[in-house]
Structure 1
Amino acid sequence: MRGFTLTAAAAILASLTTPSLAADKGEVELAYVEWATEVASTNVVKVVLEDLGYEVDITPVSAAAMWEAVATGDVDGIISAWLPVTQHHYQEKAGDAVIDLGPNIEGARIGLVVPSYVEVDSIAELNSVADRLDNEIIGIDPGAGVMSKTEQAIEDYALDDIELVEGSDPIMTAVLGDAVEDGEWIAVTGWTPHWMFARYDLKFLDDPKGVYGGAEEIRTVVRKDLEADMPEVYTVLDNFYWTPEQMAELMAWNQEKRADPYKNARRWVEQHPEIVERWLP
């Protein structure tokens, strides 16, 4: 499709959204973790591949299961690989059974996050205000890389008076929202891009020991033989790339009442044909 005008590309994309016009090219299996970023990106890729004629199944799993599934070939790929730090141990375990296609979004970050009114700026200060935080850091699912890094931070910073509470992205953000509404102190495991930074006035705590690393990327990782088996799918996954601002638009839609992430992804694809065109073979 390269060389077509954007108008022509938009027309072709629009025609492909009618299921009866799309050829049945086979089934694509994608796994993801139910974080706001991955819900957005995986549904967008699902829509794009469906419009090319594929049946696409997306399955939410834990981070560990996601990497294991792509390494064993049970799924074709993931768009949810936080590297080089957060999920590095999963990548090491997968070894050459997977192919890293590089970033689909850059400028990501993980760490400990507090509302801006909380009067500390560094992780090293948390023990001194542990009682104000109810002696807790509110976390997400236990298999997440940010959770293992937070366990390491608790050890490295000797946060003996603070416990990491397991949960999920929705639970963490709900507890955070209640705390902000009441003006209470709270610390959570956080990352960007994430819609909570647009809704609340938040800040990352400084990490002088570098436990959480620097800038992260969200990368696309596929099973070893995907290019040979499904070259068109491989190309789309390899080309898939967007900016934090573009992702944030979709994540904001997904926070609306009774939002449907799949319908919102289709709406986003239809409104941005010039971006989608760059992902196509």
Structure 2
Amino acid sequence: MSRTTRPALAALAALSLGLTLSACASDDADAPSSAGTTPSKNVSIGIHSGWDEGIAVSHLFKVMLEDDGYTVTTETADPGIVYTGLAGGGYDLNFDMWLPITHADYLEKYGDDLEQLGVWYDDARLTIAVNEDAPITSLEELAGAADAFDNRLVGIEAGAGLTRITQDEAIPAYGLEDMEFVISSTPAMLAELKSRTSAGENVVVTLWRPHWAYDEFPVRDLEDPQGVMGEAEEIHTVGRKGFAAEQPEIAALIKAFELSDDQLTSLENIMFNEDEGKDPDASVRTWLEANPTFVDDLRTKAGLAS
């Protein structure tokens, strides 16, 4: 997943699509009604392209809402485009606003036209991880043990925020300049993580929480005593202005919604590893079969139990 802290597409593409989405929304005969009238049964969700946790949670809500009789549409785009669309009313919801750091610029720019609906995860963080039985526990030890990892730190995409922070912060802070920092792609990093752990070999990779790799592979994070990878962030659900008043039941579900690490990583593992991302809705239904009380428990917590 490309964790680009300051997405490059936000400037021009976001504005263009946002205006288009806003115009389309105003022409939609089934657009949400004003407060006090019958809520629309149509819901649109904007999803950050490549952000696995947002994709997983968006499709979890899509399936739950469709089971309640809603028609739900989803669209993936760069975060800048999604937030421009939300602010213009072209999307109803986004489940993946990282705060207080990653998406702070978007909150500052569009916050007056968005609603904060809830926090569903509070330990989102960038990490550098190793196999569970690696000989070190801290980033402070990595330079001295570089030979044990073939002198390679395996990263993801060049444009990712995680890559920038690793290059600009972690490598100089912990004296890792002599290690080869392999800038590749998320699939390539995961392929190496899989092959190395399967072979019982040491490996060190850039990673992030939440991610299904923690459910699938025997990995653990290296301690970061200097805090260069950043503090934990919260993942918020945001909506267009007026959404909660127009859709109070959905807003109540979102406010009550949260996932544990085990729940989220198991859902992501089914969706992106076992099912290879081919049918997210079917993956959600597989997960719900393994968590049969999840929906009823959520509705009870939201005060919506029948």
Larger relative contact order (CA 8 Å, sep ≥ 6): 1
Out of 253, 256, 260, the position equivalent to 2:279 is: 260
Classify 1:157/1:199 alpha carbon distance in 2 versus 1 (closer, same or farther; 3 Å): same
State the shift of 1:43 in Å: 0.9
Greater Cα shift, 203-212 or 81-90: 81-90
Partner of 2:194: 177
Work out which of the residue numbers 266, 274, 277 in structure 1 matches 2:296: 274
| Range with greater deviation from structure 2 (171-180 or 82-91) | 82-91
Mean alpha-carbon deviation: is it higher for 86-95 or for 219-228?
86-95
The one of 205, 215, 221 aligned to 1:188: 205
Rounded to whole Å, the distance in 2 between the matches of 1:84 and 1:109 is: 12
Q: Mind listing any 5+ residue stretches in structure 1 that lack a counterpart? A: 1-22
Identity %: 33
Contact 1:49–1:56 at 8 Å: present in 2 too?
yes
Q: CA, structure 1 residues 194+51, in 2 after alignment: closer, same or farther (shift >3 Å)?
A: same
The equivalent position to 1:26 in structure 2, one of 42, 48, 67, is 42
Report deviation, 1:25: 1.7
Q: Measure the CA separation in 2 of the matches of 1:135 and 1:92.
A: 41
Q: What is the TM-score with the length of structure 1 in the denominator?
A: 0.74
Q: 1:227 to 1:257 in 2, by over 3 A?
A: closer
- Alignment partner of 2:257 out of 240, 244, 263: 240
CA RMSD of aligned residues (A): 3.2
Contact 2:101/2:233 (8 A) holds in 1: yes
What amino acid is the match of 1:219? H
Q: Deviations over 1:87-131 (max 9, x none)?
A: 445444544333333311234443111113332322233334446
- The 3-state SS of whatever aligns with 1:217 is strand
Separation (CA, whole Å) in 1 of partners of 2:152 and 2:79: 23
- Give aligned pairs, total: 258
Please give the secondary structure, in 1, of the residue aligned with 2:211. Answer: coil
SS at match of 1:180: helix
Shift of 1:253: 2.8
Q: Give the Cα separation in 2 of the matches to 1:159 and 1:98.
A: 41
The more displaced of 75-84 and 88-97 is 88-97
Matched, 1:102 2:121: no
Task: For 1:1-281, list aligned pairs within 5 A.
Answer: 25-130=41-146, 133=149, 136-141=152-157, 144-151=160-167, 152-161=169-178, 162-163=180-181, 165-168=183-186, 170-254=187-271, 255-257=273-275, 260-269=279-288, 271-272=292-293, 273-277=295-299, 278-279=301-302
Match of 1:4 in 2: none
Distance 1:88 1:164 in 2: 29
Contact 1:106–1:218 (Cα < 8 Å) also in 2: yes
SS of aligned partner of 1:173: helix
2:87–2:113 contact (8 Å) kept in structure 1: yes
Distance 1:24 1:257 in 2: 32
* CA distance in 2 between partners of 1:166 and 1:71 (Å): 34
CA distance in structure 2 between the aligned counterparts of 1:124 and 1:89, rounded to whole angstroms: 32
